[in-house]
Structure 1
Amino acid sequence: MPTDRLTDRPTDRATGRPTGGLAVIELRQYTLRPGRRDELIDLFDREFVETQEETGMTVLGQFRDLDDPDRFVWLRGFPDMAARRHALTAFYDGPVWAEHGARANVTMLDSDDVLLLRPLAPGSGPAVRPADRPRPGAPAPDRFVSATVWSFPPGQHEGAVLLRDGLLPALRATGPAPLAVLATEPAPNTFPRLPVRTGENAVVVLGSYPDEHAHRRHLAALRTDPRARKILPAIEQAAATRPHTLRLTPTPRSLLT
Structure 2
Amino acid sequence: MVEKQVEKKRGFQELPPNEKTQICRNIRYYVRLDKKSDETTPVTWSPDNPFGIFSGGYTKNRRMRGRETNPGYNELHGVDFRGVTRGLMQRFPGETISVLDIGCGAGIFGMELQMEMNSDGKQNVKARGTNIRVEKSAIPTDVMIGENLKYNDNSFHLVVTTYAATKYTGRLDLVLEEMYRVTKPGGEVHFQGESEIMSKEAIQKAMHEFEQKHNIKIQEKQDGLEAYWFKKP
| TM-score, scaled relative to structure 2 | 0.31
| TM-score, scaled relative to structure 1 | 0.29
